[in-house]
Structure 1
Amino acid sequence: MGNVMHKISSPIQAMRGKKRKREDDDSDGNEDNSDLLDRSMATPKRKKLISTAKYIYQALFKEERNSDITVHALGKVWHLHKVYLSQSPYFATMFNGSWREADEDYVHIEIVDPKITIESLFSVFGSLYMDEVVLEPREIVSILATATLFQLDSLIDRCAEVMIETTNAETAVKYYEAACEYGVKSVKLSTFNWLLVNLLSLYYKTGKWLRLINIELMELLVASPDLYVMQTELSLYTLLRFWTYLKLHVTNDAECEKASSSDDPLQYFAQRQSSLAFLDTPKGRPFVKCFRALRLHNLLNHHVDIKVLKQDNIIPSEWLNEPLFQQWNSMLLIDQSLDKGPKEVDDKLFLDTCIRCGRTLPENEYLKWRWTGFNFGLDLILISDTKTLRVKRHHRTENERLLSLQVKRQFLIRVSVASLNELRQIKHQQTSAIQSIALDKNEEAMLIMFDKELTYPLLISVNMLVVSPSRKSANPAIVGSPTAGPSTARPLKQPRDIASDEESLDASGNNTTVDS
């Protein structure tokens, strides 16, 4: 009987046990849900009332409700509020100091800066009532001028960001001048660097932008060792010649377009009746310091270059005497094996005296080229194989009468490579150290391995020193960066790529082809 009763009661006990377990589970679940609910209700939720700032802007600024100060500027009256205007140190000092306006409800502001407009005043006053500001690039200089007047550092910083983001061919010079005037160092440096890359690769084609460059800025650009010189230094001279013509004869974009498509800028200087060099005339004197910034010794490496300089009669002949003597002396020293090239030169002397060459690599392909001019017996070929840039001392026996016979020749070189975006701003830039290279005849050396971030087209800029410089050869016109037109004889264009056919070098080393 006991066994039977056990068998009957066991399922009942089991059911009871399961029921209790379910009840316990339900109890625990309810307790967990209750805790979660309590925690949820006890946690503050922060939500921004988006309409608050808009309401303040609409009611207090645009509708001018409860105004306690009237501001009169540029013939317009604003009914504003001292508590908001006091965000500006300009107004805070006025309202809280010993100024007469501290106890009055009317302020007249005399605006003397022509860049400040009614529209920029509206934008700047309105920004004091909002937690964000909309900045139109076309009005950014006026807003910067107004923000500077009222000493609004945060707004000045936002203006600087917009200016850096929107620097392009049309705005670069305007932004640079505004940055100088209002002391915005970041914009000054950014726009100057933009011009260093684009002056010769873009501006020489477009007179309407080139003519906007003032004399002081042009001097800095011409003197900079970081200038991307497309082709050789003669390209920089021809650009200066075109720019000078524009400054003298062009006052609007229509005249610029006409000048860019005519031969007038090329013939004007050569056709002058006076035997006096242009820079010695009253018209020419304002441009003296820009032409002084040229590295004249690097303009005398080709007989055609010298012919162009003589025909134009822009530069006084006495300017050329010392550079010509230096070049002749260097050639004699090398010919007699007394100078095998520079080995150790301090960076400043290198940057002040080196020749600047450059070109654009339009596509990711294998290219070989040389820059024209006499390199004191060195026939240097540049080779790009899509991943690297190398230099080769090209030496053929049939050209030995023109080339240095020294077994090893030393030279110094620095390479900069840049990729640009659609606004021609630098997306990525890579610059090598100043390298000392010694090459045997027909020997190659690696100059730079391209970063993966670089994209085509690539702008290549090379600084090179192939003879030992004297201290006198340092350009006295070089004054540092802001932080411290085509020739009739030789048109400004990309150098021809080296073909597989063979051409002998002439006495100046001017040809660009060689047996590859």
Structure 2
Amino acid sequence: MGALNSRMPWNRVGHAPDEPGAPEGEEEAEEAEEAVIEEGEESEEARPSTSQGRHKRKTGPEGQLAKAPHRKRAKDSLESIYETLFLRGEGSDVQIRALGEEWNLHKVYLCQSGYFASMFSGAWCETFMNTVELQMPDENIDCEALHEALGSLYRGSVLIPPGRVVPMLATASMLQLDNLIQQCGEIMKETVSDQTVCSYYYSAESYGLQNIRAMCLQWLLDNLMTQHSEELLREVSLDLMKEVIASSDLFVMEVEMDVYTMLKKWMFLQLQPTWRGPRRDLLPDANSWFAGARQESEGTPFLETEQGRAFVPAFQQLRLDYIICDLPSARIIDQDALIPATWLTPVYKERETRGRGPVDVYVSDFQRTSMRCGGQLLRDEQCTWRWAGFNFSWDFVVCYANRRIIFKRSALINSCGRRISLLWQRKVAFRLRLASLDRAGRAIFRKETEYQVLSLRKDEELEVMNLEYEDVVFPIYVTCNFLYLPRKGRFSE
């Protein structure tokens, strides 16, 4: 294939910054440009004004020299360099070949890249070669991204649409373009959503952007159970789902049984990726499919079948203790037959022996084993609720009134549809968290308590959080972690 003189068939969307940073070797680059222009010098009338750049000043209508503003001259100069040296490839001293295309470029500009600086340092065979063939080890790199990344070395920046961030990040990482990598990270922060979060997470993990990885993980913890998006569930990998489900920071709506239900939908969508239907049909269709699988396996729990074993690591993160304590939930678990009985038997036995002796409880225990439950405050008005299956043997009530959240222990025997403990005092460790999310799922308000121990007598109440002076945006997601403390025991860091 013949050389393309760095021209590509698509429209470029990059633009130069108002304050371009001088690349390393700027003086050499300017000299290279001057040499290029002198070699192909035409008459001043015939030569395009864009190639004149910073070498000549324009003449005004009255014959006087009009002095252009510094920023405009700098920008015009970069555009001149980009047009003359990159797009036309004038004065090229090296040809780069990759992905079936060719670029006639200049080592002095390429060496702004750590990748090319090392290549041309004298330690490699490519140092003195006029043509360099690049191998693309990353399938995320495409021709358009490589073209834009190489072009950024001549103009200082490039405009990156959100849909092109991943290929650009892959290319910038290979070429070791730190500024371009940083730019991709900033775009990710501004455009994370249910449609981008998974691809951003996987890319950030691959290319070492730990802050972006943490941001995407937090987005999933906030939104996975509040968005109810089938497309999002399809994109969540096994390892990512395992990490999300294991976290005590997961916004659970309403109780742990809902985490199980979400996992069941996710597993069905992983096994049946072509499923398309109304959201209301997803759970019934999943139940029907697993019922059929159960018949085919002659009653073998699905997670013990060949198809189901791959999903075991995610289901192992469920906090089964807070599912089997609720009779309707326990019946669903038994009916679905997804979870092996060998998982459930130790949980039942542990419940029978709980609280018989002094036990010290640590924050790490709280994070790993606490009950997760949550709800939503749609508007700023008084509201009271309980979480079903709350199994500390006392009627625990949560109240929102006058921009305050209050925990209350009710001692009315008929206030709850089950038996309650009338012991004069019970202790529970807890942490309360609130968040308001914008339409893209990004937190615009967040507040949480420290880990605390709650010890309430009959009908006693405790103000847990005050939002009177907070700039709160409704609706608010409310999520709480609870861990029962034995009568003889301590809670510590």
Common topology (TM > 0.5): yes
Which residue of 346, 368, 375 maps to 1:322? 346
Which residue of 441, 462, 465 maps to 2:483? 465
Query: Is 2:139 the partner of 1:110?
Result: no
Q: Name the CA distance, whole Å, in 1 between partners of 2:97 and 2:247.
A: 46
- The residue that corresponds to 1:30 in the other structure is none
Query: Is 2:197 the partner of 1:172?
Result: yes
- The residue that corresponds to 2:289 in the other structure is 268
Which residue of 425, 429, 450 maps to 1:408? 425
Q: Name the CA distance, whole Å, in 1 between partners of 2:309 and 2:429.
A: 35
Which residue of 75, 81, 85 maps to 1:56? 81
Query: Is 2:97 the partner of 1:72?
Result: yes
Query: Is 2:422 the partner of 1:387?
Result: no
Shift of 1:269: 2.0
Shift of 1:299: 1.1
Once the two structures are superposed, residues 284-343 of structure 1 have per-residue CA deviations (whole angstroms, 9 ceiling, x without a partner) of 11011111111111111210111000001010011111111222333x85xxxx88xx8x
Judging changes above 3 Å, is the alpha-carbon distance between structure 1 residues 432 and 374 closer, same or farther for their aligned structure 2 residues?
closer
CA contact (8 A) 1:207 1:257 kept: no
Q: Name the CA distance, whole Å, in 1 between partners of 2:180 and 2:322.
A: 46
Q: Which amino acid aligns with 2:158?
A: V
For the pair shown, the structure with the greater C-alpha radius of gyration is 1
Would you identify which runs of 4 or more consecutive aligned residues in structure 1 move more than 6 Å? Answer: none
Q: How does 1:334-413 map to 2 (within 5 A)?
A: 345-398=361-414, 402-413=419-430
Q: Name the CA distance, whole Å, in 1 between partners of 2:376 and 2:210.
A: 30
Shift of 1:197: 0.4
Shift of 1:397: 4.0
Shift of 1:156: 0.7
Greater relative CO (CA pairs within 8 A, separation 6+) = 1
- The residue that corresponds to 1:231 in the other structure is 254
Q: Name the CA distance, whole Å, in 2 between partners of 1:398 and 1:429.
A: 36
- The residue that corresponds to 1:285 in the other structure is 309
Once the two structures are superposed, residues 120-144 of structure 1 have per-residue CA deviations (whole angstroms, 9 ceiling, x without a partner) of 0111011111123211110000000
Shift of 1:77: 0.7
Once the two structures are superposed, residues 441-468 of structure 1 have per-residue CA deviations (whole angstroms, 9 ceiling, x without a partner) of 1111011122613311111110011243
Q: How does 1:142-157 map to 2 (within 5 A)?
A: 142-157=167-182
Once the two structures are superposed, residues 67-86 of structure 1 have per-residue CA deviations (whole angstroms, 9 ceiling, x without a partner) of 11111110011111111110
Query: Is 2:206 the partner of 1:181?
Result: yes
Over aligned residues, Cα RMSD in angstroms?
2.3
Q: For 1:441, what is the secondary structure of its paired residue?
A: coil
Query: Is 2:452 the partner of 1:452?
Result: no
- The residue that corresponds to 1:249 in the other structure is 272
Q: Name the CA distance, whole Å, in 2 between partners of 1:109 and 1:398.
A: 76
CA contact (8 A) 1:89 1:150 kept: yes
CA contact (8 A) 1:416 1:430 kept: yes
Once the two structures are superposed, residues 95-144 of structure 1 have per-residue CA deviations (whole angstroms, 9 ceiling, x without a partner) of 12232221121111011311111110111011111123211110000000
Q: Name the CA distance, whole Å, in 2 between partners of 1:85 and 1:103.
A: 14
Judging changes above 3 Å, is the alpha-carbon distance between structure 1 residues 70 and 150 closer, same or farther for their aligned structure 2 residues?
same
Worse-matched range after superposition: 394-403 or 179-188 = 394-403
Judging changes above 3 Å, is the alpha-carbon distance between structure 1 residues 280 and 380 closer, same or farther for their aligned structure 2 residues?
same
Q: For 2:453, what is the secondary structure of its paired residue?
A: strand
Which residue of 458, 473, 486 maps to 1:441? 458
Worse-matched range after superposition: 259-268 or 389-398 = 259-268
Q: Name the CA distance, whole Å, in 2 between partners of 1:384 and 1:148.
A: 49
CA contact (8 A) 1:246 1:256 kept: no
Judging changes above 3 Å, is the alpha-carbon distance between structure 1 residues 268 and 386 closer, same or farther for their aligned structure 2 residues?
farther
Q: For 2:253, what is the secondary structure of its paired residue?
A: coil
Judging changes above 3 Å, is the alpha-carbon distance between structure 1 residues 384 and 329 closer, same or farther for their aligned structure 2 residues?
same
State the aligned residue count.
415
Shift of 1:374: 4.3
Shift of 1:281: 0.8
Under a length normalisation based on structure 1, what TM-score does the superposition of the two structures give?
A: 0.77
Q: Name the CA distance, whole Å, in 2 between partners of 1:144 and 1:245.
A: 32
CA contact (8 A) 1:59 1:65 kept: yes
CA contact (8 A) 1:70 1:105 kept: yes
CA contact (8 A) 1:390 1:448 kept: yes
CA contact (8 A) 2:242 2:317 kept: yes
Q: How does 1:197-208 map to 2 (within 5 A)?
A: 197-202=222-227, 205-208=228-231
Q: For 2:407, what is the secondary structure of its paired residue?
A: strand
Q: Name the CA distance, whole Å, in 2 between partners of 1:94 and 1:429.
A: 48
Judging changes above 3 Å, is the alpha-carbon distance between structure 1 residues 466 and 103 closer, same or farther for their aligned structure 2 residues?
same
Shift of 1:164: 1.3
CA contact (8 A) 1:233 1:357 kept: yes
Q: For 1:270, what is the secondary structure of its paired residue?
A: helix
Worse-matched range after superposition: 418-427 or 304-313 = 418-427
Q: Name the CA distance, whole Å, in 1 between partners of 2:94 and 2:390.
A: 73
Q: For 2:481, what is the secondary structure of its paired residue?
A: strand
Q: Name the CA distance, whole Å, in 1 between partners of 2:156 and 2:390.
A: 62
Q: Name the CA distance, whole Å, in 2 between partners of 1:260 and 1:213.
A: 20
Q: How does 1:105-144 map to 2 (within 5 A)?
A: 105-144=130-169
Shift of 1:469: 11
Once the two structures are superposed, residues 212-241 of structure 1 have per-residue CA deviations (whole angstroms, 9 ceiling, x without a partner) of 100000000000010000100000000101
- The residue that corresponds to 2:113 in the other structure is 88
Q: Which amino acid aligns with 2:454?
A: I
Q: Name the CA distance, whole Å, in 1 between partners of 2:278 and 2:110.
A: 50
CA contact (8 A) 1:353 1:469 kept: no
Judging changes above 3 Å, is the alpha-carbon distance between structure 1 residues 260 and 143 closer, same or farther for their aligned structure 2 residues?
farther
Shift of 1:260: 6.0
Q: For 1:228, what is the secondary structure of its paired residue?
A: coil
Percent identical among aligned pairs is 33
CA contact (8 A) 1:207 1:256 kept: no
Shift of 1:470: 12
Once the two structures are superposed, residues 395-451 of structure 1 have per-residue CA deviations (whole angstroms, 9 ceiling, x without a partner) of 214469811111111111101111112211112211110111111111110111226
Q: Name the CA distance, whole Å, in 2 between partners of 1:93 and 1:397.
A: 77
CA contact (8 A) 1:179 1:185 kept: yes
The gaps in structure 2 that reach 5 residues or longer are: 1-67
CA contact (8 A) 1:232 1:356 kept: yes
